[in-house]
Chain A
Amino acid sequence: MSPLLGIVFEDLAQYKIFAAPLSVIEDLFDVAGITLLALLVFTGLGVVVGFVYSSFVRRNPIKAFIPTLRTFFAGIAEILVLLLRLLPFVVVLFVPLMAASGTLGRFGELNKLGINDRNASQATMMLWILWGVAFLACVWVWPSLRRVRAIAKLSFIEAIRGRILYVFVLFFIPFLFAGWYLDKTPEAVLLNLCGFVNTAITYILMPLVIFMASMSLPNEIQARIVQTVVTKPVRRSEIVLGRSLGYIAVFTLVLAGMGAVSLLYIYGQLDETQRKALWVARRPIFSNRPVPEVIADYEKQGPGAALALRQHPELFSLMFQQNGKWNVVATNVGKEWSYRYHIGGRANHSAHYGFQFDPKLLAHRHDDRLGDVCVLQMEFDVFKMTKGDPTRDEGKDVEKSGVRCIVEVRDRGQESASGQKAPSYSQLLRVNHQRVTEMLVPANIFDNKFVEVVVKCVTESQFVGMARGDLYLLAQDGDFASNFFKGLISIWLKVVLVVCIAVSASTALKGFVTVLFASAVYILGLFWAFMWNVAAGSLGTVKGGGPIESFIRLMTQANQVSPLDETNWLIWALLRVDQGMLALMRFTTFLVPDLSKLDVVQYVAHGVDVPGALILRNVIIVGMYVIPVMVVGYFFLRNRELAA
């Protein structure tokens, strides 16, 4: 998608929002590689910038160029070494978090790293050993970070004593009245409350984050306090990092406070029955392995197909069989914005999900008829070819647009072990358009750790659409409060990103300019997709060309799509300039992080456990973005005459 920093926000579109398996991390290793490439491009750019800088500002191109270059590379090395020293702290912090969120239990998904269900426990053990090593490293590294800590502490004290935090009285005002206006119907109550809390935190916190992180360093430079600081043996990288860490610490506390208030508020707004139903974090288990028939079929097709299957087994864990042929896609009903593929009713079409997991994870319920059961949930897209409801005759109050499906759960683990026909359990269900349907399955089917779920539509000439994330088993419910905390982590990551951008920008810009810059990056980041579409010109969805073309259209009252008169040489030339500007704009979009990728509020609001893998992905994404930002900040501070 993107040649520069935007690359780390590469859309991992094949994952539906609720379906983030741990293997996203594996893809991140690829992404990290691309990021490294981006860094190299970025370094090349730095060389050019350095040359321009040394040529024009110092008036001495050749003589000043080499030292500038040297400071640049030394800067990258310095920041990387400094951040490397922070790495053990990240490990020490996040491994227990991963363990607490159940991510470690799903370690077996990391096939590309050579981890499978058999050696997952050893891998987990290794991770804990790594944690121990990281802990020792922390103890060892701690004194060497004294300068960074000193500057961080300073920023912290500055924020506290500056009394800017009194602004948070503002935070409580919306909470006094919001209850009057929010929709309290059972389906919407949690969604609205979470949405409101997310909005309140984000819109009150972010301006303050931007303002504080932007103004401080320029003020210090202007007041010349920085002269007393940089004449100490403190490196400029330590100033950039220390400042950022200090503000991150302040706003972590603030966010924790806001989070606690918000959680109490949500708790208070729900009544007893709502709380019983909604105060949970469901943990879906998604399909992750292709069924044996698919593997056999792909191996028959040739080594390339088999390799793809081995590398990304989860992508083949939902396979469609249409008229005896296996495929990852099925009928396309023309819903071009949908990622679902459809199977036809009574048409020899079926969808096959493969699940391989530890049955201990599953939530168990008691059912009077079936005994010990586990829960399978699905939410399909129903595409109707006929008017009316084929399932209507069952009763007066049934939903419209329903179809019937047969869902069969087969124990494939035992079959592959003994070669016998698999024990299975099937049920005829009425499935409605995008509404959750629940099916109870006897628990013993899952004993052999590998099940196949086959979905067939039996209502003639109707289509049922599905994607990988649409059918899942329920694991033990998590706690809503800890899930809410995980949601806060994503806001926290935005804070980290914005603080680092603001601090780095403030090394070069004046205070208010930095505020504008950081705000611009933040707001553009929230609407990244729109920005991209505007900048993409003919590639995007926004019509009417770039700034100049739009202006011409506005002035000549031409509509957005009618071609302009290119025989006029002036318009011809202006359109070429416009294309150039669009190219520049496109380039700029890659420097802005796509913040919508970090959002996980939907999980919390829908009562679904935020996957640890997703948090980990976001952490890596933000980390990858922050490193070059800090290098830039260091570079500006290093080459700035702080006494001028």
Chain B
Amino acid sequence: MPENVIEIHNLTKVYRDFWGRSKVRALKSLSLNVERGEIFGLLGPNGSGKTTTIKLLLGLLFPTSGEAFVLGKPASDVAKNERLGYLPEESYLYKFLNAEETLDFYGRLFNIPPAVRKRRINELIELVKIGHARKRILKEYSKGMTRRIGLAQSLINDPELILLDEPTSGLDPIGTREMKNLILDLRSQGKTVILCSHLLADVQDVCDRIAILHQGELKVLGSVKELISIQEQTQFTATGLSESAKNEIRSVVAKHGGELIAEGNPSTTLEDLFLRVVRESEAHPGRRYLPERPAARVET
């Protein structure tokens, strides 16, 4: 039975200046739910309110109005952090600690007993592949390595819900692939992952559902499959087919009155969707994006 790990009701965040005058409406009346066991992607251009949403969920910011529940508890409740992991957009870690000490410190914050902590630290260092540098202080780490240790600290408590802010930034292609595999692994372990990114290829590969934000407003919410599929078009991709078999398929399509329009690798249509949403939103601010409206195909 799907159960909501995150519930957001009319969440609004207005940044104010020193005198209390409103400066930016970073988030406007956002409502959405995230179900247990899914990978949920928060997309949007820079300044669209993705990170603000994450920070509101974590209690790092206080909402101007509306409320958010994380794992059934209010976002301002410290107790929700017990089963939660968070990887910030850049790894904000103590530069004077080494990898082991960093993980040990965060493990202690979860009140994990020493024996369990030690086992867990070894597992995680193995997992993120920084075993060769476990005794070096973080000041000497490269960006990718810092990212890995950041990921490790977010998993120290074996969390049920993991919030990843730009998880692949600073990672090389291999690292990116490993990160994506890891995210899929986490889902297969029954964990919920929320990631926020503007690297659409990554999101498309791993996310079950996405929400696209623009200027603090929710524009699109739905499953990736449904959103990026073009309903009036059908696309077949197959492998190991001989030339005769392909001709046979083509003839079957022709027999049913269809026309085969594409063959080969599928294109990154999430990118299309994304650009369409942004363009549409800029044209009609304050309105939810309506996929059924005929939209101009954007060539990229």
By a beta-carbon cutoff of 8 Å, the part of chain A in contact with chain B is 56-57, 59, 143-144, 146-147, 149-151, 153-154, 157-158, 161-162, 223-235, 641-644
Q: Quick one: given A57-B20, A147-B111, are A225 and B62 in contact (CB under 8 Å)?
A: no
* A157–B101 touching, CB < 8 Å: yes
Known: A147-B111, A233-B110. A161 touches B86 (CB 8 A): no
Query: B111 and A154: CB pair below 8 A?
Result: no
B109 and A232 within 8 A (CB): yes
B180 within 8 A of A: no
Q: Among the listed B79, B86, B105, which residue makes an inter-chain contact with A231, where contact means beta carbons less than 8 Å apart?
A: B86
Chain B residues contacting A158 (CB-CB under 8 Å) are 94, 96
Q: Is the Cβ of B96 less than 8 Å from the Cβ of A232?
A: no
Q: How far is the CA of A275 from the CA of B157 in the complex (A)?
A: 60
B81 at the interface (CB under 8 A from A): yes
CB < 8 Å neighbour of A643 from B61, B108, B113: B61
Q: Which residues of B contact A147 (CB under 8 A)?
A: 108-109, 111
**Is A225 a contact partner of B94 (Cβ separation < 8 A)?**
yes
B109-123 vs A, CB cutoff 8 Å, 1 = contact: the mask equals 111010000000000
Query: How many residues of chain B are within 8 Å of chain A by beta carbon?
Result: 35
Q: Which residue of A lies closest to B55 (CB)?
A: A643
> How far is it, in angstroms, between the C-alpha of A235 and the C-alpha of B110 when the chains are bound?
11
B78 sits at the interface (CB 8 A): yes
Contact check, A234 vs B153: say whether CB atoms are below 8 A apart. no
- Contact pick for A162, options B15, B92, B96, CB 8 Å: B96
User: With a CB–CB cut-off of 8 A, which chain B residues contact A226?
Assistant: 92
Partner of B109, one of A224, A225, A233: A233
Q: A57-B20, A231-B60, A231-B81 are in contact. Are A644 and B94 (CB under 8 A)?
A: no
Residue among A149, A151, A227 with max Cβ neighbours from chain B (10 Å):
A227
A641 engages B61 (CB within 8 Å): yes
CB-based nearest B residue for A149? B108
Q: Which 10 A-B pairs have the closest CB atoms?
A: A150-B108, A643-B60, A232-B109, A233-B81, A224-B92, A231-B86, A161-B96, A643-B55, A225-B92, A234-B109
Give the distance in Å from the alpha carbon of A643 to the alpha carbon of B51 in the complex. 10
Q: How far is the CA of A178 from the CA of B107 in the complex (A)?
A: 49
Kindly provide the distance from the CB of B61 to the nearest chain A CB, expressed in whole angstroms: 5
Chain B residues near A228 (CB-CB < 8 A)? 86, 88, 91-93, 106, 150, 153
Residues of A within 8 A of B93 (CB): 225, 228
CB neighbours of A143 from chain B (8 A): 111, 113
Given known contacts A56-B20, A149-B108, is B78 in contact with A234 (CB within 8 Å)?
yes
Residues of B within 8 A of A157 (CB): 96-97, 101
The 8 A CB mask of B212-237 against A (1 = contact, 0 = none) is 00000000000000000000000000
A149 to B157, CA, bound (A): 18
Given A146-B111, A227-B92, A641:B20 Cβ within 8 A: no
CA distance A558 to B97 in the complex (A): 63
Answer yes or no: B58 CB below 8 A from chain A CBs. Answer: yes
Q: List 8 A-B residue pairs with CB atoms under 8 Å apart, sorted by A's residue number.
A: A153-B105, A157-B97, A157-B101, A228-B88, A228-B106, A233-B110, A643-B55, A643-B61
Tell me, rounded to whole Å, the shortest Cβ–Cβ distance linking B232 to chain A. Answer: 44
**Residues B106 and A232 in contact, CB atoms below 8 Å apart:** yes
Residues of A near B124 (CB, < 8 A) are none
| A153 CB contacts on chain B under 8 angstroms | 105
Known contacts being A57-B20, A157-B96, A233-B78, is A641 close to B109, with CB within 8 Å? no
Bound Cα distance A225, B97 (Å): 13
* Known pairs A150-B108, A157-B96, A228-B92 / 14 extra A-B pairs, C-beta < 8 Å: A56-B20, A57-B20, A147-B108, A150-B105, A154-B94, A227-B58, A227-B88, A228-B93, A229-B109, A231-B59, A232-B110, A233-B111, A643-B55, A643-B60
What distance in Å separates the Cβ of B102 from its nearest Cβ neighbour in chain A?
Answer: 10
A228 to B91, CA, bound (A): 8
B60 nearest in chain A by CB position:
A643
Decide yes or no: A223 and B92 within 8 Å by CB, A157-B97, A234-B78, A641-B62 being known contacts: yes
* Interface presence of B84 (CB below 8 A): yes
Which residues from 29 to 85 on chain B have a C-beta closer than 8 Å to any C-beta of chain A?
55, 58-62, 78-79, 81-82, 84
Dominant secondary structure of chain A at its interface with chain B: helix
Q: How far is the CA of A57 from the CA of B78 in the complex (A)?
A: 23
Q: Please name all residues of chain A whose beta carbon is closer than 8 Å to the beta carbon of B137 when the two chains form the complex.
A: 161
What are the residues of chain B within 8 A of A144 when measuring CB–CB?
Answer: 111
- B60:A641 contact, CB within 8 angstroms: yes
Complex CA–CA separation, A147 to B137 (angstroms): 22
Q: Are B108 and A146 in contact (CB under 8 A)?
A: yes
What's the minimum C-beta distance from B113 to chain A, rounded to whole angstroms? 8
B267 → chain A closest CB, angstroms: 37
Chain A residues near B59: list those with CB within 8 A. 230-231
Chain B residues with Cβ below 8 Å from A146 are: 108, 111
Bound Cα distance from A643 to B62, whole angstroms: 10
Residues in chain A near residue B15, CB distance under 8 A: 644
Q: Which residues of A sit under 8 angstroms from B16, Cβ to Cβ?
A: 57, 59
B residues 167-186 in Cβ contact with A at 8 Å: none
Nearest-Cβ distance from residue B146 to partner chain A, whole angstroms: 12
CA distance A146 to B101 in the complex (A): 15
B215 to chain A, nearest CB (A): 19
**Given A224-B88, A227-B60, A150-B109 contact (CB < 8 Å):** yes
A67, closest chain B residue (CB): B76
Closest to A236 in B: B78
Residues on B with beta carbons closer than 8 Å to the beta carbon of A227: 55, 58, 60, 86, 88, 92
Q: How far is the CA of A434 from the CA of B157 in the complex (A)?
A: 69
Q: Which residue of A lies closest to B56 (CB)?
A: A643
What's the least CB distance linking A228 to chain B, in Å? 5
Chain B nearest CB, measured from A478 CB (Å): 41
Inside 8 A of B55's CB, which chain A residues have their CB?
A: 227, 643
Bound-complex Cα distance A233 to B78 (A): 6
Q: Is there contact, CB below 8 Å, between A231 and B84? A: yes
CB atoms of B96 and A230 under 8 A apart: no
A233 to B157, CA, bound (A): 10
CB distance from B274 to the nearest CB of A (A): 26
- Nearest Cβ on chain B to A608's Cβ, whole angstroms: 45
Contact partner, B20, options A59, A231, A233, A642, Cβ 8 Å: A59
Question: Contacts of A224 on B, CB cut-off 8 Å?
Answer: 88, 90, 92
Closest to B111 in A: A146
Quick one: which of A149, A151, A154, A231 contacts B58, CB cutoff 8 A?
Answer: A231
CA distance A158 to B94 in the complex (A): 9
Residues of B within 8 A of A154 (CB): 94, 97, 105
Cα distance, A151 to B97, chains bound together (Å): 13
Q: How many Å lie between the Cα of A143 and that of B88 in the bound state?
A: 29
**A140–chain B nearest beta-carbon distance, Å:** 15
CB distance from A351 to the nearest CB of B (A): 62
Q: Report the Cα distance A144→B108, complex, angstroms.
A: 10
B191 to chain A, nearest CB (A): 16
Interface residues of B in 1-22 (CB under 8 A from A): 15-16, 20
A186 CB to closest chain B CB (Å) equals 50
Distance (whole angstroms) from the CB of A39 to the closest CB of chain B:
24
Contacts of B101 in A (CB 8 A): 157
> CB distance A235 to B111 under 8 Å?
no
Q: Is the CB of A642 within 8 A of B60?
A: yes
Query: Are A233 and B82 closer than 8 Å at their CB atoms?
Result: yes
Instruction: List chain B residues, Cβ under 8 A from A234.
Output: 78, 81, 109
Chain B residues within 8 Å of A150, by CB: 105, 108-109
Q: How far is the CB of A222 from chain B (nearest CB, A)?
A: 10
Given contacts A146-B108, A158-B96, contact A233 B79 (CB under 8 A): yes
Q: Is B61 touching A644 in the complex (CB atoms < 8 A)?
A: yes
Q: Which residues of B contact A231 (CB under 8 A)?
A: 58-60, 81, 84, 86
Separation in Å of the B121 CB from the closest CB of chain A? 14
Shortest distance between the CB of B22 and any CB in chain A (Å): 9
Q: A158 CA to B93 CA in the complex, in Å?
A: 13
Cα A225 to Cα B58 in complex, Å, equals 14
